[in-house]
C-alpha cells in the first residue's frame, strides 16, 4: 500500500474525489480526550468556532440561517434570490447576525453602498470565477469600498494568481460537485473535488498567495469535511448538509408520514429566469431539526478524526501528509451494512 503526500496525490493520474481517498493515522496519538481538541479558526478576519460556511442558495441560507450560524460560530452567506437582502439593508439594526451577503454581477450601486455601510463580506455568486467581468467587479468593489470579497467557482488553481490580483480574498473551489448541480453533466466541465482542492492549495503554496480556499461541493459526510481541511482548505461550504433544517427558508412538508423541506440548486428551473440555461435540479430532503444539531455532529466527527490523526488544532490537521487512494471495494467496505 502506498501512502501519498499532498504533492504526490496532486500528481495522481486520475481526478479524485472524496470517495476515492482516506486519511491514514501513521503516528501514536498523544490526545487524551477529544474535548481537548480545538476547532476554532480565523477565516476572512472572522473568528469562527467551526470552519463552516453556508452555501448562498435560496433553500439553504436566509436571514434565520445566518443568525443561527453566527450564534454557533459559523458563517452564513445570505442568498441573493429573494427579498432577504433588501429586508436586511432596510432594517435600522445592524445586530442581525449577518456578516456576508451574495450578489450578482448586475447588483445596483445603491445596494453595494448599503452593503459597504455595514461592512459585510461580499460573495460574488457566479458559476465561473474565471471571467473578466467577475474580476472587474471584484476590482471595483475592492477599490471603491474595500470590502472582503469571495468569488467562485473554479475547478483548479491555474488562475489563482489572477483572482488574487483582482482583489479576491477567498475563492470557492469546485465545479459540478454539488448534489443538485448538473453543470458537469450539461457542459462536460469539472474535476473531482479532491483534485480541485489540491491543485488550488498547491498553487497557493508554490506561488506564496494569500487567497483563502473554500471547498465547495461534493461534501456528503463529516468525513468529507475532515478530508477537505486535511487537504488544505481553509473552510468548507455546505449546502445539502444544512438543507432540511429548521432554519432554512421554506415550509416543512408532510408526505408519506415523513417531514421534508425543499432543496434546489441555484441554477435550477425554480430559480433561473425564463430562457436561461438550467444547471441545477430540485428535490426534497428529510427534515433534520435545528441546524445546531447538524453542527454539533460535524464538530464531533471532526474532533474524532483529529484524535486519530494526532491533531490538536485545525492547522495541524491541514498539515497532514498521509493519504491513501481507495479501490472501489475498499470504499464499499467502509459503508455501514444494515
Would 252 be classed as within a structural domain? no
Would 101 be classed as within a structural domain? yes
Distance CA 260, CA 238 (A): 18
Would 264 be classed as within a structural domain? no
Q: How far is CA 334 from CA 21, 34, 202, in A?
A: 12, 23, 29
Specify the CATH number for the domain of residue 204: 3.20.20.70
Which residues form the domain of 123? Answer: 31-247+291-314
DSSP E strands, the chain: 21-23, 41-43, 46-48, 52-54, 77-78, 100-103, 121-125, 149-154, 170-173, 212-216, 235-238, 253-255, 258-264, 282-286, 323-325
Would 113 be classed as within a structural domain? yes
Would 276 be classed as within a structural domain? no
**DSSP H helices in 146-221:** 160-166, 183-187, 193-206
Would 222 be classed as within a structural domain? yes
- The three grid cell numbers given for residue 207, joined into one nine-digit string: 506561488
pLDDT in tens, 210-232: 999 999 999 999 999 999 999 99
Task: Label the pairing between strands 52-54 and 77-78.
Answer: unpaired
Looking at the chain, the whole-number percentage of residues with pLDDT higher than 70 is 93
Would 258 be classed as within a structural domain? no
Q: Any idea which residues carry the catalytic annotation?
A: 181
Number of independent structural domains in the chain: 1
Do the beta carbons of residue 18 and residue 224 sit within 8 Å?
Answer: yes
pLDDT in tens, 234-290: 999 999 999 999 999 988 998 888 998 999 876 544 454 555 555 567 888 999 999
pTM across the whole model:
0.92
Would 64 be classed as within a structural domain? yes
Amino acid at each position: 500500500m502506498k501512502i501519498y503526500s499532498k504533492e504526490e496525490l496532486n500528481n495522481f493520474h486520475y481526478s479524485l474525489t472524496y470517495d476515492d481517498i482516506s486519511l491514514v493515522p501513521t503516528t501514536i496519538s498523544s490526545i487524551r480526550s477529544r474535548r481537548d481538541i480545538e476547532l476554532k479558526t480565523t477565516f476572512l478576519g472572522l473568528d469562527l468556532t467551526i470552519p463552516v460556511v453556508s452555501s448562498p442558495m435560496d433553500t439553504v441560507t436566509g436571514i434565520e440561517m445566518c443568525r443561527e450560524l453566527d450564534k454557533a460560530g459559523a458563517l452564513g452567506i445570505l442568498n441573493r434570490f429573494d427579498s432577504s437582502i433588501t429586508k436586511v439593508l432596510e432594517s435600522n439594526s445592524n445586530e442581525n447576525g449577518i456578516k456576508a451577503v451574495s450578489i450578482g454581477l448586475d447588483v445596483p450601486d445603491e445596494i453595494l453602498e448599503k452593503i459597504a455601510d455595514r461592512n459585510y463580506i461580499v460573495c460574488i455568486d457566479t458559476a465561473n470565477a474565471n471571467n473578466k467581468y467577475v474580476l472587474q467587479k471584484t476590482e471595483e468593489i475592492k477599490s471603491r469600498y474595500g470590502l472582503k470579497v469571495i468569488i467562485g467557482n473554479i475547478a483548479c488553481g491555474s488562475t489563482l494568481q489572477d483572482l488574487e490580483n483582482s482583489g479576491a480574498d477567498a475563492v470557492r473551489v469546485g465545479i459540478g460537485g454539488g448534489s443538485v448541480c448538473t453543470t458537469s453533466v450539461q457542459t462536460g466541465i469539472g474535476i473531482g473535488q479532491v483534485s480541485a482542492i489540491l491543485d488550488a492549495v498547491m498553487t497557493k503554496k508554490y506561488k506564496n498567495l494569500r487567497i483563502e480556499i473554500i471547498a465547495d461541493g461534493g461534501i456528503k459526510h463529516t468525513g468529507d469535511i475532515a478530508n477537505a481541511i486535511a487537504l488544505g482548505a481553509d473552510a468548507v461550504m455546505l449546502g445539502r448538509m444544512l438543507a432540511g433544517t429548521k432554519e432554512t427558508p421554506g415550509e416543512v412538508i408532510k408526505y408519506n408520514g415523513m417531514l421534508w423541506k425543499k432543496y434546489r440548486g441555484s441554477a435550477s428551473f425554480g430559480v433561473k429566469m425564463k430562457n436561461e440555461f438550467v444547471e441545477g435540479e430540485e428535490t426534497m430532503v428529510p427534515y433534520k431539526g435545528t441546524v445546531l444539531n447538524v453542527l454539533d455532529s460535524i464538530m464531533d466527527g471532526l474532533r474524532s478524526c483529529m484524535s486519530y490523526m494526532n491533531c490538536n488544532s485545525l492547522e495541524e490537521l491541514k498539515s497532514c501528509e498521509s493519504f491513501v487512494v481507495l479501490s472501489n471495494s475498499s470504499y464499499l467496505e467502509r459503508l455501514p451494512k444494515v
